[in-house]
Chain A
Amino acid sequence: AQSVTQLDSQVPVFEEAPVELRCNYSSSVSVYLFWYVQYPNQGLQLLLKYLSGSTLVESINGFEAEFNKSQTSFHLRKPSVHISDTAEYFCAVSEGGSNYKLTFGKGTLLTVNP
């Protein structure tokens, strides 16, 4: 069975500061990894994904995550955050195949303060 651990339930930072949201997973098979973002009163939006290939993946709004197989981690980073990045961030894992059933972490609430 898979599991995902997001160690930080809340991360407050100041605008333009760097941020790292941590995610560790456990699985007995190869996995696909995802970060989803949930802005207030909205649904879950795919932020970025690792399926194969380069272990460093990037989103269009400056976030990146690196798949580290030896540490079973997929931490999310951004070098300089904006107030508009305030949201809940969910790490998720899938065993792949055609059924992308996801197992989610508990989420990390990122609050960016001015």
Chain B
Amino acid sequence: EPEVTQTPSHQVTQMGQEVILRCVPISNHLYFYWYRQILGQKVEFLVSFYNNEISEKSEIFDDQFSVERPDGSNFTLKIRSTKLEDSAMYFCASSEGGPLHFGNGTRLTVT
């Protein structure tokens, strides 16, 4: 069964550094999402992306965050200047217009 793949599985970075989290959605899917889960808290919506543009974003998704689909297969989340509170598990998801399929996540640790 096709899968959403995310790399790396774990990323450690220093406060203030830029990070890029990478995702390869399922190939025929058109809708892409990023969610995050801070340890012990809910899975929270960050952003959705369709037709090469952001379709919706949450309050969390401020100017420090950006998403890109640089080619036909990758979907990336960039955090420009990481803060300690950005430490979380970040999940990518994709959909063909139905239920979401999630990747295994990238655990981001900001020190």
Interface set of A (CB-CB < 8 Å, partner B) = 34, 36, 41-46, 49, 90, 92, 98-107
Interface contact tally, CB-CB below 8 A: 53
Residues of the A chain whose Cβ atoms lie less than 8 Å from the Cβ of B103: 43
Closest residue of chain A to B44 (Cβ to Cβ) is A104
Q: How far is the CA of A102 from the CA of B34 in the complex (A)?
A: 11
Q: How far is the CB of A91 from chain B (nearest CB, A)?
A: 11
Task: Kindly list chain A residues whose C-beta atoms are within 8 Å of the C-beta of B35.
Answer: 102, 104
Distance from B81 Cβ to chain A, minimum over Cβ atoms (Å): 27
Q: Does B102 contact A (CB under 8 A)?
A: yes
Distance to closest chain B CB from A100 (angstroms): 6
Find A43's partner among B44, B45, B55, B104 (CB 8 Å cutoff). Answer: B104
> Quick one: which of B33, B41, B44, B97 contacts A98, CB cutoff 8 A?
B97
> In chain B, what residue has the closest Cβ to A104?
B43
Q: Contact between B42 and A102 (Cβ–Cβ < 8 Å)?
A: no
Contacts A44-B91, A104-B42 given: A99-B101 contact, CB under 8 Å?
no
Distance from A106 Cβ to chain B, minimum over Cβ atoms (Å): 5
Query: Which among A43, A45, A92, A105 has the highest number of chain B CB atoms within 10 Å?
Result: A43
From B41, B43, B98, B104, contact of A42 by CB (8 A): B104
Are A34 and B43 within 8 A (Cβ)? no
Q: How far is the CB of A36 from chain B (nearest CB, A)?
A: 7
Q: For B97, what are the chain A residues with a Cβ–Cβ distance below 8 Å?
A: 98, 100
Which 3 interchain pairs have the tightest Cβ spacing?
Answer: A43-B104, A44-B102, A104-B43
Q: How far is the CA of A25 from the CA of B41 in the complex (A)?
A: 17
Residue of A nearest to B55 (CB): A99
Which B residues between 32 and 55 are near A, CB-CB below 8 angstroms?
33, 35, 41-45, 48, 50, 55
Known A-B contacts A101-B48, A101-B56; the reply to A106 vs B91 at CB < 8 A is: no
If A98-B31, A101-B56 touch, whether A44 touches B99 (CB-CB below 8 Å) is no
Chain A residue with the shortest CB-CB distance to B43: A104
Shortest distance in angstroms between A96's beta carbon and chain B's nearest beta carbon? 10
- With CB as the reference atom, state the residue of chain B lying closest to A49: B99
